[in-house]
């Protein structure tokens, strides 16, 4: 696909303001610079303004990441008339105030997960975005994997029949060493939930492929209560049972202390006619088992290639594979397309608020030692405000 000179002259310019230039901010900057090359369109995304913790860091990182201007105050960014989209890549506790200020100033917003520390804050942001008619997206980038799109198509076509059971994990070892500092991620006021809040990507996959859970029952555990930089205030691992609205039941596991697991995001969905299995550490593969009577066939490996959506834009040959940053480029493409076409992006603030409601219900379940109805808990919370 080529972009003609006529199209370039008519190209809509969308100006990006990025808050935060750590690892995640850099991935967003890379995606912003790459999206027009991978997915040519009638829109041009320009890196306009970068905000960081102070003016010097902002200026240095703006130069490194290719932004025209910089500021040491994020409040200047969300009110800047030259910024169309506010992109939030900061510690969790800053997501809500920054996203709220951006929406109040009429900006489109791209925010990393979780959307907020409290479910009522997430719902408030979703309602504000709808009222202001702003495009929003939350950084659940793993759902942008073409393999997940393929899995959704197979499920929708009935390839594995009626969904019956779900088994999901997101386990990593980034805090398995008790001598490693936890930083802001282990402080409840800054991070909110621990392993569940950080590794809630598994819930975005179940939301995409299975639907919403109506009830949950969860157990939390803090295994390493003290680290070199202070006490640990949130959970190291979570196990949960889920009852989905579609009739399936399932389990979810999250851990940040699982030695040997680097990105152990997996999902297995069993239906009346077969099973799908995905492992993020082998993110270019989808495994399918069809119950056709021949037990010798086993699982079939479907390798990602140009026949799957979005892959061909990166590579014309199958088996070469996509990576983490490529999924961020697809995210950025969907955000730009939603702004140009004036349609909702996905997952938007409303979808993220539903995930935050599930994690909050899991936390409530742990404290109550029993099942919690997700929808009822959300309703009761809303009525109490």
Q: Is residue 345 part of a domain?
A: no
- Does 75 have pLDDT greater than 50? yes
Q: Is residue 331 part of a domain?
A: no
Q: Is residue 318 part of a domain?
A: yes
pLDDT of residue 382: 42
Region 111-132 average pLDDT:
98
Residues 81 and 194 reside in one and the same domain: no
Residues 124 and 77 reside in one and the same domain: yes
State the helix-helix crossing angle for 349-368 and 201-209, rounded to 10 degrees: 110
- Does 385 have pLDDT greater than 60? no
pLDDT of residue 41: 87
24 and 112 in contact (C-beta within 8 Å)? Answer: yes
Give the CATH number, domain containing residue 244. 3.30.360.10
Residues 69 and 151 reside in one and the same domain: no
Other CB atoms within a 10 A radius of the CB of residue 234 amount to: 22
Residues 135 and 150 reside in one and the same domain: no
Mean pLDDT of the chain: 94
Residues 150 and 121 reside in one and the same domain: no
pLDDT of residue 3: 41
pLDDT of residue 31: 98
pLDDT of residue 296: 73
- Does 5 have pLDDT greater than 60? no
pLDDT of residue 27: 98
| Three-state SS sequence of the chain | CCCCHHHHHHCEEEEEEEECCCHHHHHHHHHHHHHHHHCCCCEEEEEEEEECCCHHHHHHHHHHHCCCEEECCHHHHHHCCCCCEEEECCCHHHHHHHHHHHHHCCCEEEECCCCCCCHHHHHHHHHHHHHHCCCEEECCHHHHCHHHHHHHHHHHCCCCCCEEEEEEEEECCCCCCCCCCCHHHHCHHHHCCCHHHHCCHHHHHHHHHCCCEEEEEEEEECCCCEECCEECCCCCEEEEEEEECCCCEEEEEEECCCCCCCCEEEEEEEECCEEEEEEHHHCCEEEEEECCCCHHHCCEEEECCCCCCCHHHCCCCCCCCCCHHHHHHHHHHHHHHHHHHCCCCCCCHHHHHHHHHHHHHHHHHHHHCCCEEHHHHHHHHHHHC
pLDDT of residue 10: 55
Q: Is residue 115 part of a domain?
A: yes
Other CB atoms within a 10 A radius of the CB of residue 63 amount to: 11
Confidence category of residue 9, pLDDT binned at 50, 70, 90: very low
Residues 90 and 154 reside in one and the same domain: no
Region 266-281 average pLDDT:
98
320-373 pLDDT tens trace: 999 999 999 999 999 999 999 999 999 999 999 999 999 999 999 999 999 999
Region 269-279 average pLDDT:
98
Confidence category of residue 376, pLDDT binned at 50, 70, 90: low
Q: Is residue 375 part of a domain?
A: no
- Does 381 have pLDDT greater than 70? no
333 and 34 in contact (C-beta within 8 Å)? Answer: no
Q: Is residue 358 part of a domain?
A: no
Residue 82, φ and ψ in degrees, nearest 5:
-90, 5
pLDDT of residue 42: 81
Domain end (from 110, 139, 168): 139
Give the CATH number, domain containing residue 111. 3.40.50.720
Q: Is residue 365 part of a domain?
A: no
pLDDT of residue 317: 95
Residues 175 and 35 reside in one and the same domain: no
Residues 225 and 269 reside in one and the same domain: yes
User: Based on the structure, what is the number of domains in the chain?
Assistant: 2
Nearest to 241 by CA among 114, 348, 329, 370: 370
Residues 276 and 305 reside in one and the same domain: yes
pTM, two decimal places:
0.93
pLDDT of residue 375: 81
Q: Is residue 38 part of a domain?
A: yes
User: For a pLDDT cut of 70, what percent of the chain falls above it?
Assistant: 94
Residues 127 and 152 reside in one and the same domain: no
- Does 195 have pLDDT greater than 80? yes
pLDDT of residue 93: 98
User: For a pLDDT cut of 90, what percent of the chain falls above it?
Assistant: 92
136-186 pLDDT tens trace: 999 999 999 999 999 999 999 999 999 999 999 999 999 999 999 999 999
Residues 167 and 90 reside in one and the same domain: no
Domain end (from 96, 111, 139): 139
Domain end (from 122, 139, 156): 139
- Does 380 have pLDDT greater than 90? no
168 and 266 in contact (C-beta within 8 Å)? Answer: yes
What domain range is 65 assigned to?
5-139
Please give the C-alpha separations between residue 332 and each of 99, 125, 172, 336, in angstroms, as whole numbers. 17, 20, 26, 6
Residues 107 and 154 reside in one and the same domain: no
> Which of 312-334 are b and which e, b meaning 16 or more Cβ less than 10 Å from the residue's Cβ?
ebbeeeeeebbeeebbbbbbbbb
């Amino acid at each position: 696909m080529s972009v003609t000179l006529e199209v370039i002259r008519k190209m809509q310019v969308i100006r990006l303001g990025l808050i935060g230039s750590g690892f995640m901010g850099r991935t967003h900057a890379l995606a912003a610079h790459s999206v027009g090359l991978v997915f040519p369109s009638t829109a041009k995304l320009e890196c306009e303004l970068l905000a960081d913790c102070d003016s010097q860091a902002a200026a240095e990182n703006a130069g490194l990441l290719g932004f025209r201007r910089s500021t040491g105050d994020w409040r200047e960014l969300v009110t800047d008339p030259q910024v169309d989209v506010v992109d939030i890549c900061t510690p969790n506790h800053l997501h809500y105030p920054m996203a709220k200020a951006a929406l109040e100033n009429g900006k489109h917003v791209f925010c990393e997960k979780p959307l907020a520390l409290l479910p009522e804050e997430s719902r408030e942001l979703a309602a504000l975005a709808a009222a202001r008619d702003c495009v929003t997206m939350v950084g659940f980038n793993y759902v942008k994997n073409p393999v997940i799109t393929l899995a959704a198509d197979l499920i929708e076509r009935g390839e594995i029949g009626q969904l019956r059971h779900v088994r999901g994990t997101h386990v990593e070892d980034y805090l398995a060493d008790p001598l490693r500092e936890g930083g802001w991620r282990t402080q409840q006021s800054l991070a909110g939930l621990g392993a569940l809040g950080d590794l809630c990507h598994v819930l975005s996959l179940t939301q995409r492929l299975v639907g919403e859970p109506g009830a949950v029952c969860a157990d939390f555990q803090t295994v390493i209560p003290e680290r070199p930089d202070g006490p640990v205030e949130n959970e190291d691992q979570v196990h949960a049972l889920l009852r989905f609205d579609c009739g399936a039941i399932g389990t979810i596991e999250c851990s940040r202390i699982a030695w040997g697991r680097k990105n152990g995001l997996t999902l297995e969905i069993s239906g009346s006619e077969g099973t799908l299995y995905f492992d993020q550490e082998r993110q270019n593969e989808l495994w399918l088992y069809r119950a056709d009577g021949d037990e010798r066939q086993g699982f079939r490996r479907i390798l990602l290639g140009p026949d799957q959506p979005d892959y061909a834009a990166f590579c014309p040959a199958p088996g070469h594979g996509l990576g983490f940053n490529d999924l961020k480029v697809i995210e950025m493409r969907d955000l730009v397309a939603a702004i140009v076409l004036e349609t909702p992006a996905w997952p938007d603030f409303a979808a993220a608020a539903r995930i935050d409601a599930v994690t909050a219900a899991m936390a409530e379940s742990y404290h109550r030692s029993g099942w919690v109805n997700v929808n009822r808990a959300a309703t009761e919370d809303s009525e109490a405000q």
